[in-house]
Amino acid sequence: MVMQLDNFFMPSSVAVIGASRNSAKIGHVILKNIIDGGFRGRVFPINPEANEILGYRCYKSVNAVNEEVTLAVIAVPAEFVLRVVDECAKKKIKDVIIVTAGFGEVGNIKLENQLRDKLDKYGIRCVGTNCLGVFDAYHKFDTLFLPRYRLTRPKPGGISFVCQSGAIGSAILDIAAYSGYSFSKFISYGNATQLDESDLIEYLREDPNTKVICLYVEGIKNGEKFFNVLKEVTKHKPVVVLKGGLTDAGIKATVSHTGSLAGNKDVFYGVLNQTGAIRADSLEEMFHIAALFEKKVSFASNRIQIITNGGGYGIITTDAISLSKHLKMADLSSITISELRKNTPAHMNIGNPLDLLGDATTERYRMTLNSVLADKNVDGVLLIVLYQTPLITTEIVEVITEAHHNSKKPIIVVSTGGEFTELLSKSLMERGIPVFNFPTETISALDKVVAYELRHKGVKFVSQKDEKVNEKLVVKKKRVSKTKKNKK
Amino acid sequence: MVMQLDNFFMPSSVAVIGASRNSAKIGHVILKNIIDGGFRGRVFPINPEANEILGYRCYKSVNAVNEEVTLAVIAVPAEFVLRVVDECAKKKIKDVIIVTAGFGEVGNIKLENQLRDKLDKYGIRCVGTNCLGVFDAYHKFDTLFLPRYRLTRPKPGGISFVCQSGAIGSAILDIAAYSGYSFSKFISYGNATQLDESDLIEYLREDPNTKVICLYVEGIKNGEKFFNVLKEVTKHKPVVVLKGGLTDAGIKATVSHTGSLAGNKDVFYGVLNQTGAIRADSLEEMFHIAALFEKKVSFASNRIQIITNGGGYGIITTDAISLSKHLKMADLSSITISELRKNTPAHMNIGNPLDLLGDATTERYRMTLNSVLADKNVDGVLLIVLYQTPLITTEIVEVITEAHHNSKKPIIVVSTGGEFTELLSKSLMERGIPVFNFPTETISALDKVVAYELRHKGVKFVSQKDEKVNEKLVVKKKRVSKTKKNKK
């Protein structure tokens, strides 16, 4: 049965246990961010030594609060956590986020086991320990104890990120928000003392705002559970997984980080492959894959047409597609070719890549983009737009947006440049179009996205590489039969 | 003999042949950018139909100019180029940049051959055809026909970029300038009708401002010359090469782009390997490798120490180093370990990665960084600083800069984040410290940089991978001898 964890993200009331008047303390920043974030429920700071914090009445313990408290965020030192959980149980609080560190990750396994037993005994559900807690962009609930001028909070959108490492989570959230990506939920779960990665992923399957689930994980708590959850969830939503601790030295480092036993790399990769989860090989790749799913690119098959105003960019992208595992260069139909020939300058070469040349205009983009999208031989367009040349007017944003609305086929834009480029790229992203900086990283992410799409749609396809292998086999067969003949 | 090409970058006087009053024309933008760029020599617009352009007296032909003209930038239609070259010869102009397209790349090979013959006959040297020309950040000479609000011009620095594709060159120049990287010379040479990539690289060897040469190339004009030039130049400066046209489809696309025959990938890679040039596998990687060389990182050997305030980042970086070809995790000496133990909190684990934890302060960074840099077992520091946590004050910029000045060992910074992070990262870059966004891309570039450094210093070293292989061999040997004993 899937656990209903909504209360962690949209509680009707929250107690901050360990709230502090000292603005340098975590207990202060958590309270401040919950208030400043725009949370609409009731907030109760708990601190035996204060009467008021940030204008809110402060209570000596949760049991001094007369109203119902549905969630507690616990930020007291490790040695007080057990006692605080007792108090929460007495208050009938069912859910707690424990940000406190100092458990298994520093060798204090006994205390962590005592805590888990206590939580289980009371039937209290817990995110943490040793974590940042949660951020919900839709419900404006934010327990992250990092200041807003240092960590940009993202706008509401389709990415949810389950992250064992708080630092990775917050850094990615920050750069992603700054780059224009948008999120549903972020959960930093640290030591996974009780609720683990599987519980969280399973819950996100039901979150209507989550289009793609990202997971950074160091150690899996329960391998069988993880396998079953991934297998089920990937049928509904893509799950992109980055594993920390792949090598001996990396695995050694995970122990003192989240107390995880990282386990064997190949077994882990095997699980991802069997369950249909997507393996990311770096933070930057996880981020690119998620961005594509967030924009809901949907491929009927794997034939990609490149349109570009930079010849070299077209060549590099062609190389990347040809070297990819699952993508294929589209072959334009003869109807499209003659249409394009009629409407483009004579010195333009019609093919794939389709190089619109240095004197490309916005109008030339409009015409070719629409023509190519209508071609039955094309499943998606990799649209390279280099805004350095002055004949590309800013109206191109409208041209691409319109094509995006009128066609079911995905358009993925690659634009490299400075301030002017960034401005137009962000504008396109706000209109639902995925935009990237460089061709190679884009194709690398797209390769994994298309593989997932086709696997889950049950579409069979051949890649450029498969075709090469087939060609070679044919050549080999021919040679073999020749040799046989010669022998005769 | 190395060609002295200074006149292309710091001419005493320049004629813009095909200068136009129409601001939409290339001939207008070139003239405007030469003037606005801050060029200090004499400028002569040439246009038979105008008396004055942009406040400059206009001439009917170069031969109407009474003063000496040392360089001509030619931007007339292809059919007039031969005649213009005749006029240049009459005026005794020795160097021309021909931006005009419409030669070999559109199949007009005859015209391109005629042009080459003519240039050779007159002894005129030529950059182009089908190119953007040059940009020199030190001498403020700028023939790029792209507006400054669309293409940010970089500050003076150590990267020189020789680029067959104008679009790639300008896009990279734009994003690099925006990201804080700085350049000496940029040359877009297009069809390489006469001067080719080898001539340009050979010349840059002598440019005192150039610390690293980047090359994007589609086809090599003269393989033997290229081999010899690379072999000689890489002894003095690193040359980073990205090849467009690696796959069948990519090679096909190069023909209509710069009229190049791209040639065999494996032969090309062999040449890079034998000459000691560095192969980049993507634009983003070329850019990262160049940034490291531009900051003159110098490694005595390959042992890297990681310092981080994000445990997960430490783990991912450890994995990347362990999976790299040439890098190794450093083993801190016992002196450093006891020094660190004495001066850091008890719950901090001393090792590699060195995780300063979420409550890391600027002071903790100062102490550990200096301690680690002084360790004889460490050749360089990968310093991860995540600015999201409030205990890291902005003074950390001073701390890192001071350590950088006091130690000969390189410090490479990785910081992921939004506006606040970008601000501090740019500040560090201005002080000569390389900064990157993500760990994996950084290690990938660093791996190639360290390999070059050690090869050219003749340093022998073992990588993490080599050690593994050795360990396995030892285990195997032991087993073998055991088996032998059993047999006895």
Rounded to 5°, the CA angle A76-A189-A108 comes to 55
The reply to whether CATH 3.40.50.720 applies to domain A151-294 is no
**Chain B residue closest to A132 (CA)?**
B358
Q: What is the pLDDT of residue A472?
A: 55
- Number of neighbouring beta carbons within 10 Å of residue B55: 7
Is A390 within 8 Å of B218 when comparing Cβ atoms?
no
Cβ–Cβ under 8 Å, residues B371 and B334: no
Question: Which residues are CB-contacts of B194 (< 8 A; sequence separation ≥ 6)?
Answer: B116, B119, B120, B125, B126
Query: Cα–Cα distance between A136 and A41 in angstroms, integer?
Result: 14
Query: Cα–Cα distance between A135 and A173 in angstroms, integer?
Result: 10
Cβ–Cβ under 8 Å, residues A201 and A278: no
Query: Cα–Cα distance between B153 and B139 in angstroms, integer?
Result: 13
Interface of B with A in 144-173 (CB under 8 A): 146-147, 149-152, 163-168, 170-172
Confidence of residue B148 (pLDDT cuts 50, 70, 90): confident
Q: What is the pLDDT of residue B306?
A: 98
Query: Cα–Cα distance between A370 and A382 in angstroms, integer?
Result: 13
Q: Does B390 touch chain A (CB under 8 A)?
A: yes
**Chain A residue closest to B436 (CA)?**
A284
Beta-bridge mates of residue B354: B307
Query: Cα–Cα distance between A382 and A353 in angstroms, integer?
Result: 9
**Chain A residue closest to B464 (CA)?**
A249
Q: What is the 3-state secondary structure (H, E, C) of chain A?
A: CCCCCHHHCCCCEEEEECCCCCCCCHHHHHHHHHHHCCCCCEEEEECCCCCEECCEECECCHHHCCCCCCEEEECCCHHHHHHHHHHHHHCCCCEEEECCCCCHHHCCHHHHHHHHHHHHHHCCEEEECCCCEEEECCCCEECCCCCCCCCCCCEEEEEEEEECCHHHHHHHHHHHHHHCCEEEEEEECCCCCCCCHHHHHHHHHCCCCCCEEEEEECCCCCHHHHHHHHHHHCCCCCEEEEECCCCHHHHHHHHHHHCCCCCCHHHHHHHHHHHCCEECCCHHHHHHHHHHHHCCCCCCCCEEEEEECCHHHHHHHHHHHHHCCCCEECCCCHHHHHHHHHHCCCCCCCCCCEECCCCCCHHHHHHHHHHHHCCCCCCEEEEECCCCCCCCCCCHHHHHHHHHHHCCCCEEEECCCCHHHHHHHHHHHHCCCCEECCHHHHHHHHHHHHHHHHHHHCCCCCCHHHHHHHHHHHHHHHHHHHHHHHHC
Cβ–Cβ under 8 Å, residues A143 and A189: no
- CATH number for the domain whose boundaries are A1-132: 3.40.50.720
Q: Which residue has the tokens 């009780």?
A: A194
Is A353 within 8 Å of B253 when comparing Cβ atoms?
yes
Mean per-residue pLDDT of chain B: 92
Among candidates A257, A329, A416 on the partner chain, residue whose Cβ is nearest the Cβ of B172: A416
Structure tokens at B330: 């450093």
Backbone angles phi, psi at A435, to 5 degrees: -130, 135
Question: Which residues are CB-contacts of A311 (< 8 A; sequence separation ≥ 6)?
Answer: A353, A355, A357, B165, B167, B253, B256, B257, B258
Is B283 within 8 Å of A440 when comparing Cβ atoms?
yes
Which among A132, A241, A283, A319 is the top mutation candidate for probing chain B, defined by the most B β-carbons within 10 Å of its own β-carbon?
A: A319
Chain B positions in Cβ-Cβ contact with residue A177 (cut-off 8 Å): 418
Interface of A with B in 279-308 (CB under 8 A): 281-284, 308
Distance from CA of B257 to the nearest CA of A (A): 6
Is B315 within 8 Å of A254 when comparing Cβ atoms?
yes
Q: What is the DSSP track for A407-454? A: -SS-EEEE---SHHHHHHHHHHHHTT--EES-HHHHHHHHHHHHHHHH
Residue B488 has pLDDT above 50, yes or no: no
Per-residue pLDDT of B307-324, as tens digits, reads 999 999 999 999 999 999
Q: What is the DSSP letter of A59?
A: B
Among candidates B150, B389, B419 on the partner chain, residue whose Cβ is nearest the Cβ of A146: B389
For A311, the 3-state DSSP assignment is: helix
Interface of B with A in 30-89 (CB under 8 A): none
**Chain B residue closest to A259 (CA)?**
B311
Distance from CA of A91 to the nearest CA of B (A): 31
Q: What is the pLDDT of residue A485?
A: 46
Among candidates B101, B168, B420 on the partner chain, residue whose Cβ is nearest the Cβ of A313: B168
Query: Cα–Cα distance between A29 and A22 in angstroms, integer?
Result: 9
Which pTM does this prediction carry?
Answer: 0.91
Q: Which residue has the tokens 């949907």?
A: A298
**How long, in residues, is chain B?**
488
Is A353 within 8 Å of B284 when comparing Cβ atoms?
no
Q: What is the pLDDT of residue B484?
A: 47
Which among B388, B436, B437, B469 is the top mutation candidate for probing chain A, defined by the most A β-carbons within 10 Å of its own β-carbon?
A: B388
Is A418 within 8 Å of B106 when comparing Cβ atoms?
no
Q: Counting one residue from A and one from B, how many pairs have CB atoms under 8 Å apart? A: 272
Among candidates B308, B352, B418 on the partner chain, residue whose Cβ is nearest the Cβ of A174: B418
Q: Does A350 touch chain B (CB under 8 A)?
A: no
Q: Which residue has the tokens 């928000």?
A: A177
Determine how β-strand B13-17 pairs with β-strand B42-46: parallel
Q: Does B266 touch chain A (CB under 8 A)?
A: no
Cβ–Cβ under 8 Å, residues A369 and A343: no
Structure tokens at A387: 């805004």
Query: Cα–Cα distance between A199 and A125 in angstroms, integer?
Result: 11
Each domain of chain B, given as residue ranges in start order, spans 1-131, 151-294, 298-462
**Chain B residue closest to A257 (CA)?**
B311
B153: left (phi over 0), alpha (psi -120 to 50) or beta: beta
User: How distant is the alpha carbon of residue B198 from its chain centre?
Assistant: 16
The mean pLDDT of B136-149, rounded to a whole number, is 93
Taking the alpha carbons at both ends of chain A, their separation in whole angstroms is: 69
Cβ–Cβ under 8 Å, residues A339 and A350: no
Question: Which residues are CB-contacts of B82 (< 8 A; sequence separation ≥ 6)?
Answer: B111, B114, B115, B118
Chain B positions in Cβ-Cβ contact with residue A151 (cut-off 8 Å): 388, 417-418
**Burial group, residue A300, by CB count within 10 angstroms (0-12, 13-18, 19+):** middle
Distance from CA of B43 to the nearest CA of A (A): 24
Structure tokens at B325: 């070809």
Residue B112 has pLDDT above 70, yes or no: yes
Query: Buried b vs exposed e over A169-195: b needs ≥16 C-beta within 10 Å?
Result: bbbbbbbbbbbbbbbbbbbbbbbbbbb
Structure tokens at B358: 């979420």
Q: Does A254 touch chain B (CB under 8 A)?
A: yes
Per-residue pLDDT of B1-51, as tens digits, reads 678 999 999 999 999 999 999 998 999 999 999 999 999 999 999 999 999
The reply to whether CATH 3.30.1110.20 applies to domain A298-461 is no
Chain B positions in Cβ-Cβ contact with residue A311 (cut-off 8 Å): 165, 167, 253, 256-258
Q: Which residue has the tokens 């090849």?
A: B243
Chain B positions in Cβ-Cβ contact with residue A349 (cut-off 8 Å): 256
Q: On the CB side of B4, how many CA atoms lie within 13 Å of its CA?
A: 4
Cβ–Cβ under 8 Å, residues B143 and B30: yes
Is B318 within 8 Å of A250 when comparing Cβ atoms?
yes
- CATH number for the domain whose boundaries are B1-131: 3.40.50.720
Chain B positions in Cβ-Cβ contact with residue A439 (cut-off 8 Å): 282-283
Is A355 within 8 Å of B256 when comparing Cβ atoms?
yes
Chain B positions in Cβ-Cβ contact with residue A171 (cut-off 8 Å): 310, 313, 386, 388, 416-417
Chain A positions in Cβ-Cβ contact with residue B421 (cut-off 8 Å): 150, 174-175
**Position with higher pLDDT, B259 vs A473:** B259
Q: Distance of CA B339 to CAs A256, B257, B304, B358, B374, Å?
A: 20, 60, 19, 21, 11
Among candidates A178, A420, A422 on the partner chain, residue whose Cβ is nearest the Cβ of B419: A178
Which one of 3.40.50.261, 3.30.230.70, 3.30.390.10, 3.40.190.10 gives the CATH number of domain B298-462?
A: 3.40.50.261
Among candidates B171, B311, B388 on the partner chain, residue whose Cβ is nearest the Cβ of A388: B171
Per-residue pLDDT of B389-408, as tens digits, reads 888 999 999 999 999 999 99
Query: Cα–Cα distance between A473 and A469 in angstroms, integer?
Result: 6
pLDDT 10s digit of each residue in chain A, 488 long?
678 999 999 999 999 999 999 998 999 999 999 999 999 999 999 999 999 999 999 999 999 999 999 999 999 999 999 999 999 999 999 999 999 999 998 889 999 999 999 999 999 999 999 999 999 999 999 999 998 889 999 999 999 999 998 999 999 999 999 988 999 999 999 999 999 999 999 999 999 999 999 999 998 888 999 999 999 999 999 999 999 999 988 888 887 776 666 578 888 999 999 999 999 999 999 999 999 999 988 999 999 999 999 999 999 999 999 999 999 999 999 999 999 999 999 889 999 999 999 889 999 999 999 999 999 999 999 999 999 988 899 999 999 999 999 999 999 999 999 999 999 999 999 999 999 999 999 999 999 999 999 998 888 766 666 666 555 555 555 554 444 444 43
Query: Cα–Cα distance between B283 and A322 in angstroms, integer?
Result: 17
Q: What is the DSSP letter of B59?
A: B
Among candidates B257, B319, B437 on the partner chain, residue whose Cβ is nearest the Cβ of A246: B319
Distance from CA of A408 to the nearest CA of B (A): 27
Cβ–Cβ under 8 Å, residues A139 and A206: no
Q: What is the DSSP track for B316-332? A: HHHHHHHHSSS-EE---
